[in-house]
Amino acid sequence: MRLDGKVAIITGGASGIGRATVHKFVREGAKVLVADIDRARAEEVVAEVEEAGFPGSAAATAVDVSVFAQVEQMVAEAVRVFGAVHVIFNNAGIAGGVPLLEHDPEADYERIVRVDQNGVYYGIVAAGRQMAKQGSGGVIISTSSVYGEQAAELSFTYSAAKAAVISFTRSAAYELAEHGIRAVAITPGRVATPIINQFSDELRATFAAEQLRGRLTNPDEIADVVAFLASDESRVINGTVVSVDDGYSV
């Protein structure tokens, strides 16, 4: 098992890509702190893990990643429950969707930056400090988006925040290499999670057609890549972006 003996924090672990990654990580032998603003759903994911035959492999904690003190508490909770932090998957995120000229700066800019940008920064700093203190390296994986590398309709703020995630990843890899800590960003395209599933069948079909094989990505398919990135098998992948968009951006 590729993640045997590893302790991981997965933010946004209650749903979608995060939830799928929790399941993948425990199957690979990791202990996982499922961290989400929705505590009830995080606890449901822990119950799923127990039912799947991995009792004690996951625990839930409530966190709002846009509040640094809560992110620090999240890291402390992982140490309290599982004894260390070897991997953090900064994955919690929210989408926008309002034309630029109709923006309410608080609702359509500040709110998204706080979660999608600041939340990742806080995760890097808080988990990075813990990993450096432990002295045995670590991996920081953060969820950007194809929108982090290109403009898109109704995505002014989201694109900027997701671009920042890529920049943070490069700089974190640069600064934290001396501690043996790697940083990698992933750029999903169209993944069948509640963020996408809220839209009409027609719009979902349009999204599917944007990927080369004409279908939405399953969250499990992203989780497979994240598990590889969290494992030592990917030890030479550092400070870069791993595209997981099934050809969206060719």
Q: Applying CB under 6 A, does 11 fall inside the site for ligand NAI?
A: yes
Q: Applying CB under 6 A, does 92 fall inside the site for ligand NAI?
A: yes
Q: Applying CB under 6 A, does 220 fall inside the site for ligand NAI?
A: no
Element (H or E) spanning 181, and its range? strand 181-188
Q: Applying CB under 6 A, does 145 fall inside the site for ligand NAI?
A: yes
Q: Rank residues 65 and 127 by Cβ distance to ligand NAI and give the closer one.
A: 65
Q: Applying CB under 6 A, does 143 fall inside the site for ligand NAI?
A: yes
Yes or no: say if 175 and 119 are a contact pair by the CB < 8 Å rule: no
Find the distance separating the first CA and the last CA of the chain, reported in whole Å.
Answer: 33
Q: Applying CB under 6 A, does 43 fall inside the site for ligand NAI?
A: no
Q: Applying CB under 6 A, does 17 fall inside the site for ligand NAI?
A: yes
Yes or no: say if 190 and 210 are a contact pair by the CB < 8 Å rule: yes
Total residues at interface with ligand NAI (CB under 6 A): 29
Q: Rank residues 18 and 128 by Cβ distance to ligand NAI and give the closer one.
A: 18
CA-to-CA distance for 131 and 127, rounded, in angstroms?
6
Stretch in the footprint of ligand NAI (CB under 6 A) among 2-10, 58-66, 133-141, 174-182? 58-66
Q: What is the DSSP string of 97-115?
A: ---GGG--IIIIIIHHIII
DSSP at 16 = H
Nearest distance from C-beta of residue 180 to ligand NAI, angstroms: 26
Element (H or E) spanning 141, and its range? strand 138-143
Q: Is 158 a catalytic residue?
A: yes
Restricted to residues 175-194, the positions that interact with ligand NAI (CB under 6 A) are 188, 190-191, 193-194
Nearest distance from C-beta of residue 210 to ligand NAI, angstroms: 10
Helices 119-134 and 68-82: crossing angle, nearest 10°?
40
Q: Applying CB under 6 A, does 36 fall inside the site for ligand NAI?
A: yes
List the beta bridge partners of residue 235. Answer: none
Active-site positions read 158
